[in-house]
Structure 1
Amino acid sequence: MRYYPILLDLHGKTCLVVGAGHVGRRKIQTLLSCGPALVRIIDPKQPDQCWQELIDLGIVEYASRSFVPKDLDGCFLVIACTDHESQNWRISRLCAERGILCNIVDQPEKCSFILPALHTQGDLTIAVSTSGSSPALAKKIRQDLGTCFGPEYGRYLSLMRQLRPLVLGLGRPTEENSELFRKMTESALLHAVQADDRAQVLILLKDFLPQSLHTRLEDLIHELD
């Protein structure tokens, strides 16, 4: 395995994207969905209206000019996707000197990290990588995953995100909690969520969960969407 797989927490972090063309836009949107403190965009073109609201909110900082090394100040992560290979390579070298994570689109040999193809459903994220050997194959596998992992997984995980802290808050032994969550995962609960059979979801949860949590269940199930 050439790369070490990792998921990064971008909250409170500043990210830089150099180049706001078609590819850059996709990278920016993905970064924004992860909740960083700021996404700094450098592109010679004037910002489109789609960025203006985010600029006004202070979530996006946009500079209509070419990249300068000072743009790296305070950055945790950088993505370079300009049309000029020499510029991308320069950014990569500068990031390496400063110890900043850097991705150069379609040039894995110039990156300190590469971006996998992603299939997401709510809190579920499945990353597919061919270590840069065949992005097209990674994309196909990601598309195939869509037939196996549909919206029901997002709804199921939304329910579990609310249930898990309630169970852990009871202070029971770790082994008991692990066994409980395992049985829930192996049960028909996911299928009931998929069928939007809320009555069956309630029955199954009452079978698994301690009596003290039963009064909370109807409200949690009502929030399934």
Structure 2
Amino acid sequence: MKNFLPISIDISDAKILVIGGGQDALKKIRILQRFDAHVEVLALKVIDEIKNSGIKYTEAVYNKDFLKGYLMLYSCVNNDELDKQIVQDAKEAGVLVNIHDKPALCQFVSPAIYRHGKITVAVGSNGENVYEAIRIRDLIKQTINFN
């Protein structure tokens, strides 16, 4: 079992790669944009919502050469064989890796986040119980008055 350390990391000037161009990738992109991340997408096919978002995207077959210069990546390809290759390549390239819905393959996981101004509340579940973390985050959001 993995044991993830909750941290806050400055990604405002970092390049982050999202591999995959579907709805799961779009959800990750929207979260990252809330933190001023410089996001780029690599996928065989990119949905229109991503194409129309202004984010740089490349429609191509994955190759480890694409990993150069990124701090971290999120893989949203939902392909076990490709995900395992991405993990290996990312580790060799020194890029932190998150595989969507597969915490056992991840070097980091994203918590359920609530942000108000400069205050960020993050509820993590070690990648084990995402819906419970979201429920608790929402309870915190409802309970705390940030006025």
TM-score of the aligned structures, taking structure 2 as reference length? 0.89
Instruction: State the match for 2:35 in structure 1.
Output: 34
**Superposed CA RMSD:** 1.9
Assess, with a 3 A threshold, how the Cα gap between structure 1 residues 117 and 8 changes in structure 2: closer, same or farther: same
Distance 1:49 1:111, change over 3 A: closer
Distance in 2 (CA, whole Å) between partners of 1:99 and 1:53 is: 28
Q: Secondary structure at the match of 1:147?
A: helix
Measured in 2, the distance between the counterparts of 1:49 and 1:77 equals 22
If each structure's helix is expressed as a fraction of its own residues, which one has the higher value?
A: 1
Contact 1:116 1:129 in 2 (8 A): yes
Aligned twin of 2:8? 7
Describe how 1:12-31 pairs up with structure 2 within 5 A. 12-31=13-32
Tell me, in whole angstroms, the C-alpha distance in 2 between the residues paired with 1:139 and 1:47.
26
The C-alpha deviation readout for 1:147-195, integer Å capped at 9, x for no partner, is 1124xx2xxxxxxxxxxxxxxxxxxxxxxxxxxxxxxxxxxxxxxxx4x
Q: Normalized against structure 1, the TM-score is what?
A: 0.60
Structure 2's unaligned 5+ residue stretches are: none
Question: What letter is aligned with 1:3?
Answer: F
Q: Secondary structure at the match of 1:86?
A: helix
Any conservation in 2 of the 1:69–1:94 contact (CA below 8 Å)?
A: yes
Segments ≥4 residues shifted beyond 6 Å: none
CA distance in 2, matches of 1:71, 1:5: 28
Alpha carbons 1:47, 1:64 under 8 Å: kept: no
Question: 1:81 maps to which residue?
Answer: 76
More strand by share: 2
Separation in 2 of the partners of 1:46 and 1:137? 31
Q: Classify the secondary structure of the residue corresponding to 1:6.
A: coil
Query: Greater relative contact order: 1 or 2 (C-alpha under 8 angstroms, separation 6 or more)?
Result: 2
- Which residue of 1 is the match for residue 144 of structure 2? 149
SS at match of 1:94: helix
| SS in structure 2 of the partner of residue 7 of structure 1 | coil
Decide whether the 8 Å contact of 2:21 with 2:50 is kept in 1.
no
Letter in 1 for 2:30: Q
Greater C-alpha Rg: 1
2:51 aligned partner, one-letter code: W
Q: Distance in 1 between matches of 2:66 and 2:50?
A: 22
Identity fraction in percent: 25
